[in-house]
Amino acid sequence: MKLAIVGCGSRHSMFSDSVTDDYPDKHEIVAVCDNNPHRLSLAAQAASREGTNGVAAYDAADFDAMIAEQKPDTVVVTTPDFLHASYIVRAFEAGCDVICEKPMTIDLASLKQITDAQKRTGRQVRVTFNYRYSPARTQVKDIIASGQIGEVTAVDFRWHLDRVHGADYFRRWHRQKENSGGLLVHKSTHHFDLLNWWLGAVPSQVTASGRRAFYRPETALSMGLAQRGARCATCEVADRCDFELNLDEDAQLHALYREAEHEDGYYRDLCVFDEEIGIEDTMQAHIRYGSGATVNYTLTAYSPWEGLEIKFQGTKGDLTHKHVEVHGVFGGERAHAGKDAVWTELHIAGQPPQKIDVPTAEGHHGGADPVMLGYIFDPDNMEPDQYNRASDHVAGGWSILTGIAANMSIETGSTVDIPTMLKGRGITLS
């Protein structure tokens, strides 16, 4: 397979490295594309094979020329979220399939563009929901599908982002909804996809609330940071701020962003307490599913630990799953949890609770990334996927619709009916 990658920030390397390091005999990266010449050059060098003339590099404005000249079979899209739809549609129209970083897109207008283009061209997009491939999350799917807890009637799902990971969304392009859809789309698309997949159902109604409670100027003042600057690199009080990001101390961030600032003026270390930030850090949603199940969902972006807590209530019992990824955050430092920080408990009515041995694997996202990449780049040597974990435009669409509806509910203060919302925009997901 011949691949071209558009978007050469930090996320693209997962795909580029997998092809060049793990599957060089099966696939070839023929081109990379970005609007920043510095990052573009780094990506081209990293993807080049020894003994060749290297990988073609194209400015973002020349994306269509890249497709015409290099003729890739598949385009990998790892740009900022608000650009995904444009590249997906243009790749479809040029006869290419697409591998897209989550979320597939961020709003209804661009979702319609993708679904219309997919129907018109017959091309396919694969949205890379790596959480589906984690052994622990797959085990949850297996237990629910087995019927051990009966029909799932209600779910409580809490996701905690710590003060390193969570804060990072407030210093980058994600901090504005027009770029990312907010955390209910950008981040929660993972969680809503898991719920859709676990339950084997899609959402029908959403009622939500959300606000920016922590990453605000008032918080900085309470921390004695009255003289804070617009970015960490030039901030007078950065040395007293637990949220400082020093790009010069991280080799990868320095190479990708600090050395690239002069090309496009993009700063990777903006202040997390800026007034102008347009996304929430505290969100809750009540979700009704077509199956009859209901879900209470919470996402916070300033927790003292990172991970998830989820309980499925069923007609025969309940299932509890918890994963502590990071034990605590103190002064910007993270203490990663050990393997024993993942546990699952099955409690059948009339029986004592039973701790379930949770399978583990090596690799990022709880061992999910290597498995997912294996199915993408070497499916013939993988076992048949009985869990149907590959995600197309339909799964990608349903994963963002809960977040889009939640954003609408926060804005209007009312419950949003998803079928009505889709019908009003002429969107069909099937």
Task: Delimit the domains of the chain by residue range.
Answer: 2-130, 132-214+278-360+392-425, 223-264
Q: Is the dihedral of CA 314, 140, 194, 379 positive or negative?
A: negative
Which CATH fold topology does 2-130 show?
Answer: Rossmann fold (3.40.50)
How many Å apart are CA 372 and CA 198, to the nearest integer?
17
Average pLDDT over residues 9-26: 94
Within a 10 A sphere around the Cβ of 382, how many other Cβ atoms? 12
Mean pLDDT to the nearest integer, 298-322: 97
Which residue would you say has higher pLDDT here, 269 or 51?
A: 269
| Range among 39-53, 321-335, 387-401 with highest mean pLDDT value | 387-401
Q: What's the distance, CA 175 to chain centroid?
A: 15
Q: Can you give the pTM of this predicted structure?
A: 0.95
- Residue closest to 41 by CA, chosen among 248, 256, 261: 256
Distance of alpha carbon 275 from alpha carbon 260, whole angstroms: 26
Beta carbons within 8 Å of 177's beta carbon, 6+ residues apart: 278, 279, 407
AA identity, residue 349: A
- Among the residue ranges 168-172, 213-217, 278-282, 324-328, the one predicted with the least confidence is 324-328
Average pLDDT, the chain: 95
The two tokens of residue 104 are 């597939």
Tens-digit pLDDT profile for residues 373-390: 999 999 999 999 999 999
Average pLDDT for residues 172-195, to the nearest whole number?
98
Strands 74-77 and 56-59: unpaired
Q: Which residues pair with 298 in a beta bridge?
A: 158, 284
pLDDT band at residue 366, thresholds of 50, 70 and 90? confident
pLDDT at 370 over 80: yes
Is the pLDDT reported for residue 267 higher than 90? yes
Does position 283 have pLDDT exceeding 70, yes or no? yes
Task: Specify the higher pLDDT residue, 49 or 83.
Answer: 83
Between CA 324 and CA 226 the distance in angstroms is 34
pLDDT band at 355 (very low <50, low <70, confident <90, very high): very high
Question: What pLDDT shows up at residue 337?
Answer: 65
pLDDT beyond 90 at 7: yes
Mean of pLDDT values over 186-196? 98
For 159, the token pair is 């996701």
**Which pLDDT value is given to residue 330?**
63
Q: What is the pLDDT of residue 430?
A: 80
Type of residue found at 415: T
Per-residue confidence band for 326, with pLDDT thresholds at 50, 70 and 90: confident
Over residues 400-416, the pLDDT tens digits come to 999 999 999 999 999 99
Instruction: For residue 45, give both structure tokens.
Output: 């060098």
Which DSSP category does 110 fall into? H
Residue 343, pLDDT score: 93
For residue 377, what is the enclosing H or E element?
A: helix 364-377
- Cα–Cα separations (whole angstroms), residue 151 to 176, 177, 198, 292: 39, 36, 12, 10
CATH match for 132-214+278-360+392-425 among 3.40.50.1400, 3.30.360.10, 3.40.50.80, 3.30.420.40: 3.30.360.10
Judging by DSSP bridges, how do beta strands 97-100 and 125-127 pair with one another? Answer: parallel
Nearest one of 111, 44, 207 to 425, comparing CA atoms = 111
Measured in residues, the chain has a length of: 430
Q: How far apart are the first and last CA of the chain?
A: 27
Q: Give residue-wise pLDDT tens across range 56-82.
A: 999 999 999 999 999 999 999 999 999
Say yes or no: do domains 2-130 and 132-214+278-360+392-425 share a fold.
Answer: no
The pLDDT of residue 332 is: 60
